[in-house]
Amino acid sequence: MNTTIAKPLANYAAYKRKGDFLFLSGVIAVDPTAAKIVRSYEDVPEQVRAGIGWTGEFSVDIKEGPIRAQSWYVLDRIRATVEAAGGRMSDVFKLVQYFRDLREYPGYSAVRKTFFPDDPPVSTVVEVKAMLPDLSILVEVEATAWLPS
């Protein structure tokens, strides 16, 4: 999958800039152009896999792959969107993270540390029953960044 900005699945803005703030809609691991949901390590670039936890052991990767691959995809879309608006990931100061199952949080957290190694943003974590477009979506993240003019 290519690295591009977050794209909405319906009639809403992917992001809006208001003054020095950039507000991103919730981002999920779906490429709407290809109509493809990220489901495993195979759905992220090969050079990224080992860095987010891929072991090459089927019994491990089948369990951890979905959340880690979705987490990387979502955070990479946030990164690309913030950069397209003129910022960096270090400008992201707030995340709201929605999980279908909070037991997935440790896998997500491990990937998030690769995007925010030094100064993590303030965060809210919420468990929800479901997210669009279907139950294979494990995490959705919305972000707010400060991009001074």
Domain spans in the chain, listed from the N-terminal domain onward = 15-146
User: In degrees rounded to 5, what are phi and psi of residue 66?
Assistant: -60, -50
Q: What is the pLDDT of residue 2?
A: 39
For domain 15-146, the CATH class is alpha beta
| pLDDT per position as a tens digit, 64-97 | 999 999 999 999 999 999 999 999 999 999 999 9
Whether the upstream peptide bond of residue 133 has omega within 30° of 0, thus cis, is yes
Angle of CA points 106, 101, 98, to nearest 5°? 85
How far does Cα 19 stand from its chain's mean position?
Answer: 24
Structure tokens at 111: 């990937």
pLDDT band with cut points at 50, 70 and 90 for residue 6? confident
